[in-house]
Chain A
Amino acid sequence: MQLSDGDPARHDDVWLRIITNERHITKSGLHYAALKGAFKPPKVNRPWSSEASGRLRSLCGAPEEIASQATDYCNKLGGGQKFVGLMFASVGVINDQLPPDHSTSVHYTPITQGKFEDAAHADLTVAGPPIAAKSEQEEDLLQFLHGKFKIVHPYQMDFLPPAAQPTLVEPLPPEKATPTLVGYLSGIVRMIGQFFSRR
């Protein structure tokens, strides 16, 4: 199914964000400073209160292309920023509840024009009341998100996990996704049928 602007990303996709500061990568992984101040209110009306820019793994090509695009992005910035790594997490891991009244997820938000046009653009979004700077909610959000992310250096791009292609795989409705004995048996029968039909 083709994603449209504002759609939630698939659970099995991966959200990633360019890191431009070496200090945001530590020996133990991501520095929480990479998240602090990264969330901004959406520029257009959205069902979430803040967002941080990133991309969907399924839409941005092979690892070497991602690295090349990240370098291009930094060059376009023109401020001497360098591509020093990527932070990433599975959308399924990001989709979560932050009690008492916030939730985090990823939404597809392509940038369709301008210098930073990006068909793979997606935001990490926070739904719920706006979170004030220096508030306890902000602290909770940072601690909540910090453990979800992994990082890769530019020379480690092959470690980026793959993502399902959203145009190729239809998500199953929840009731059909529940494994049952009948489901297993019909699956086996279908596989056997496909095996013999190819021969």
Chain B
Amino acid sequence: MTVARRPKSDTAPPAIAMPDTSVDDFVARAWYEAGTRLRSNEFRILCRAPGSETTINPADFLALLHEFSSGIIHIPAFSKKAAMPIKPLHIDQPMLFMSAGMGKSHLVQQYVLELMRSRLGALTDPGPYVALLDAVEETVPEHLIGFEQYSAPNWDGFDAVAIAPQTLSYARKLMRVLPSTLGEPDTAPAADGSIALQWVPEGRKHPLEKLFLDIGPGEEWRAYWTMKDGSRGRQPGTLVNDNTKIILEQLFRKLSK
């Protein structure tokens, strides 16, 4: 993490010191954070429909999607005119939702300040931005830290397929709803561009021999397992939502009995 640069004067608009990371990575994190807060009704989404500024809640969200789906997020503090198109929107897809009519730097400032307020209780001081990013970093599942290094092909020396940002982002979402019933998984990149989670419970009395869970490539997951009695099973899935959490909890409970 780089050290944030403080603004030149206290009266200047809050400067946003960006981390030494890729635009994609930052935006993915920002979208995720915003989406999480949206779902928990913590995050106040600022959007400007023509002539108005309003706060929306998840129930109104779908109705506004198409209106803003062609917008562009500019992050001017990232040098070189970095711009990220807003991807096709989906209610389950974490996102930072902004209108093109709003001042571009203002968009980012509002987002950052909103995060600061909720995370750190700081409203106007951009100084804690590094701490903020650290806090955001904490929300990235520990098991997936560093997986960006597998975004280039042949990362293993055996012609591995790159792990796409979409797959990694999806994995982060899925790992947040993983039950802890079977303990922490061993998480590893696979050469087909997927992320592989493995549970091999210790102890002869545990009924489960091994559970494998593939995430991706793309936005899907598959769990398959072998029990100590030799029986096997599988469970595929795509969406990540509250229902997914229930499905996985039921599965993990079943595999523990």
Residues of chain A whose beta carbon lies under 8 Å from any beta carbon of chain B: 18, 20-21, 23-24, 26-29, 31-34, 36-38, 40, 53, 73-74, 77, 79, 81, 133-134, 136, 139, 142-143, 146-147
In the bound complex, residues from chain B placing their C-beta under 8 Å from that of A20 are 156-158
**Contacting residue for A23 out of B157, B187, B214, B224, CB 8 A:** B187
Is there an interface contact between B194 and A37, defined as CB atoms closer than 8 Å?
yes
Chain A residues, Cβ within 8 Å of B152: 79
- Max chain B C-beta neighbours (<10 A), residue from A29, A73, A79: A79
Contact between chains at B196 and A32 (CB < 8 Å): yes
Cβ contact within 8 Å between B158 and A36: no
B188 touches A143 (CB 8 A): no
Would A28 and B202 count as touching, CB distance under 8 A? yes
The reply to whether the CB of B191 lies closer than 8 angstroms to some CB of chain A is yes
User: What's the minimum C-beta distance from B139 to chain A, rounded to whole angstroms?
Assistant: 21
A100 to chain B, nearest CB (A): 14
Given A21-B189, A33-B188: A26 and B232 interface contact (C-beta under 8 Å): no
Q: Do B222 and A31 have beta carbons less than 8 Å apart?
A: no
Asked if A77 and B210 sit within 8 Å, CB to CB, the answer is: no
Q: Which residues of A contact B35 (CB under 8 A)?
A: none
B193 is an interface residue with CB less than 8 A from chain A: yes
Give the Cβ gap from A140 to chain B, nearest Cβ, in Å.
8
Per the CB 8 Å criterion, the residue count for chain B at the interface is: 31
Bound Cα distance A74, B157 (Å)? 7
| B95 touches A (CB below 8 Å) | no
Evaluate contact between A79 and B161: CB separation under 8 angstroms: no
Query: Who on chain B is nearest to A76 by CB?
Result: B157
A72 to chain B, nearest CB (A): 12
Whether A31 touches B226, Cβ cut-off 8 Å, given contacts A79-B157, A136-B234, is no
Q: Is the interface of A mostly helix, strand, loop or mixed?
A: mixed
Q: A26 and B156: CB pair below 8 A?
A: no
The residues of A that contact B136 with a CB separation of less than 8 Å are none
| Chain B residue at minimal CB-CB distance from A144 | B226
CB distance from B28 to the nearest CB of A (A): 21
User: Is B53 positioned at the interface, with any CB of A under 8 Å from its CB?
Assistant: no
Contact status B212-A21, CB under 8 Å: no
B252 is an interface residue with CB less than 8 A from chain A: no
A136-B161 Cα distance, complex, nearest whole Å: 21
Collect the chain B residues with CB atoms within 8 Å of residue A147's CB.
Answer: 210
* B45 at interface, CB cutoff 8 A: no
- 30 A-B pairs (CB sep. < 8 Å): A20-B156, A21-B155, A21-B156, A21-B188, A21-B189, A23-B186, A23-B187, A23-B188, A26-B188, A26-B198, A31-B186, A31-B188, A32-B196, A32-B210, A33-B188, A33-B189, A34-B188, A36-B191, A36-B192, A36-B214, A37-B161, A37-B190, A38-B191, A74-B157, A79-B157, A81-B156, A134-B220, A142-B212, A143-B226, A143-B232
Which chain B residues numbered 124 to 174 have a C-beta less than 8 Å away from chain A?
A: 152, 154-161
| A28-B202, A143-B224, A146-B210 as given contacts; A36 in contact with B155, CB under 8 Å | no
- Whether the pair B191, A37 counts as a contact (CB closer than 8 A) is yes
Knowing that A28-B186, A81-B155 are A-B contacts, what are 10 other residue pairs whose CB atoms are under 8 Å apart, sorted by A's residue number?
A21-B189, A23-B186, A23-B187, A26-B188, A29-B200, A31-B188, A37-B193, A38-B191, A79-B154, A142-B212
